[in-house]
Amino acid sequence: MIVTAEAPGKIILCGEHAVVYGRPAIAVPVSQVSAQVTIEENTTELLIHARDLNRLDRYSDLDPSHPLGAIIRLTLSALGDAAPPNATLTIDSTIPIASGLGSGTAVSTAIVRALAKYFGRNFDAPTVSSLVYEVEKIHHGTPSGIDNTVIAFGQPVFFIRNQSIETFSVPLPFRLIIADTGIHSPTKIAVGDVRKAWEADHVKYEALFDRCGEIARAARSLIESGLPDQLGPLLTDNHRLLREMGVSSPELDTLVGAALNAEALGAKLSGGGRGGNMIALIANESEAQVRGALLNAGAKRVLATVISSQ
C-alpha cells in the first residue's frame, strides 16, 4: 500500500506578534511551495526518510521530543492508539526552512494527513490543526496557533488566539512578492524579546498591538470588499509598528525600502522578524521591477504568489 498527502506553505499578511496578545491577524496559504509525505508499506518497521536532509531514521530511535517523532506519536494516538505501521514515511518539501513560510508546520500537517489516510481515516481541518499545534509548542514556546491553523485549513484565515478562526473569501485575487533576507532567525527568540519589552512597558506595547489589530480588521474588510489594491498603506504601517516593537532588522528595512521605491503598493516584514521574509503587495505590471529591486537590495530568494480563495 502507498498513500500521499501534502500541505502548503504560508505567510502572515498582517498582525504577527500582536496576535500572541489576543489581537487578530491574517495569514494566507502559499500554494507555490508545499510539503509532501508518502507512506509506503515495507517489511521491517516505521522508517522516516527526510529526503531533503538526507536522513533516514527509525521511528523507534527518535527522541519523544523530536518534532517528527512527536507528530507521529500524537497522530497514532489520535488514531486510537494505532501501532506504528511497517512502512517508510518519506518527506519532500519545496518550502525553504526556517524563513517564516511554515516549513516545519507544513511537514507536520502532511504527516498527520498521510498517516490518517494510511489507516483509512480522514481528519477534519480543526483536528489536524490541533495535533500540529502540540508540536508547534516544541518549536516555538508560546505559539499563537496561527501557522497550524492556516496550513490545516488551506484558506486565508482571520485568527484571534483562543477565540475565533474564520476563513474568508478573496473575491479579487492579489499578488504578493515574498523576499528572503537569507537570515535565519528563530521565531521563539523574537517572541521572547517582545514579551520582555511588553513586561517592561505595557502601555507602549498594548497601544502598538491595538494598532496592529485595527490594521488586521481593516485589511480583512478591504480584501472581502474586493479592494486588495488598497491594502498597501496598511501593510507599510504594520511594518512601522513591528519596527517599533523591535523585531525588524537593517536587512528587512532595506528590502522594505527597496520594494517601496520600486513602486510596490506596500511592504512589511512577515512572521517573527529579525530575519526571514518580507512581503510586498504589487500591481501586476510592477512585478519585474519590484523583483529586480529586491534582488539588487540583497534578497536571497524572491517568490511571487497570488492570494485567492482556494
Using CB under 6 A as the binding rule, whether residue 17 contacts ligand PMV is answered as: yes
Nearer to ligand PMV, 159 or 174 (CB): 159
Nearest to 217 by CA among 271, 152, 160, 282: 160
Using CB under 6 A as the binding rule, whether residue 12 contacts ligand PMV is answered as: yes
Using CB under 6 A as the binding rule, whether residue 187 contacts ligand PMV is answered as: yes
The DSSP string of 229-298 is: GG-HHHHHHHHHHHHHHT---HHHHHHHHHHHHTT-SEEEEESS-SSSEEEEEE-GGGHHHHHHHHHHTT
The DSSP string of 103-144 is: HHHHHHHHHHHHHHHHTT----HHHHHHHHHHHHHHHHSS--
What does the alpha-carbon distance between residue 48 and residue 57 come to, in Å, rounded to a whole number? 5
Lay out the site mask for ligand PMV across 190-229 (x = CB under 6 A, - = otherwise): -x--------------------------------------
> What is the size of the binding site for ligand PMV (CB under 6 A)?
15
Rounded (10°) angle between helices 146-153 and 103-118:
50
CB of 133 to ligand PMV, least distance (A): 10
Per CB under 6 A, the segment of 15-23, 108-116, 235-243, 281-289 that binds ligand PMV is: 15-23
Lay out the site mask for ligand PMV across 92-121 (x = CB under 6 A, - = otherwise): --------x---------------------
Using CB under 6 A as the binding rule, whether residue 290 contacts ligand PMV is answered as: no
Using CB under 6 A, pick the residue from 213, 272, 281, 299 that binds ligand PMV: 272
CB of 197 to ligand PMV, least distance (A): 13
Lay out the site mask for ligand PMV across 134-153 (x = CB under 6 A, - = otherwise): ------x--xx-xx------
CB of 88 to ligand PMV, least distance (A): 29
Per CB under 6 A, the segment of 17-25, 49-57, 250-258, 284-292 that binds ligand PMV is: 17-25
CB of 239 to ligand PMV, least distance (A): 14
What does the alpha-carbon distance between residue 59 and residue 50 come to, in Å, rounded to a whole number? 12
How many CB atoms are closer than 10 A to CB 124? 9
CB of 299 to ligand PMV, least distance (A): 17
How many CB atoms are closer than 10 A to CB 189? 13
What does the alpha-carbon distance between residue 239 and residue 250 come to, in Å, rounded to a whole number? 13
Say which residues have a Cβ less than 8 Å from residue 247's Cβ, sequence separation at least 6. 17, 190, 193, 194, 269, 272, 273, 274
CB of 81 to ligand PMV, least distance (A): 30
How many CB atoms are closer than 10 A to CB 151? 29
What does the alpha-carbon distance between residue 194 and residue 280 come to, in Å, rounded to a whole number? 24
Using CB under 6 A, pick the residue from 5, 14, 16, 89 that binds ligand PMV: 16
Q: In the complex, which residues of this chain contact ligand PMV (CB under 6 A)?
A: 12, 16-17, 19-20, 100, 140, 143-144, 146-147, 187, 191, 271-272
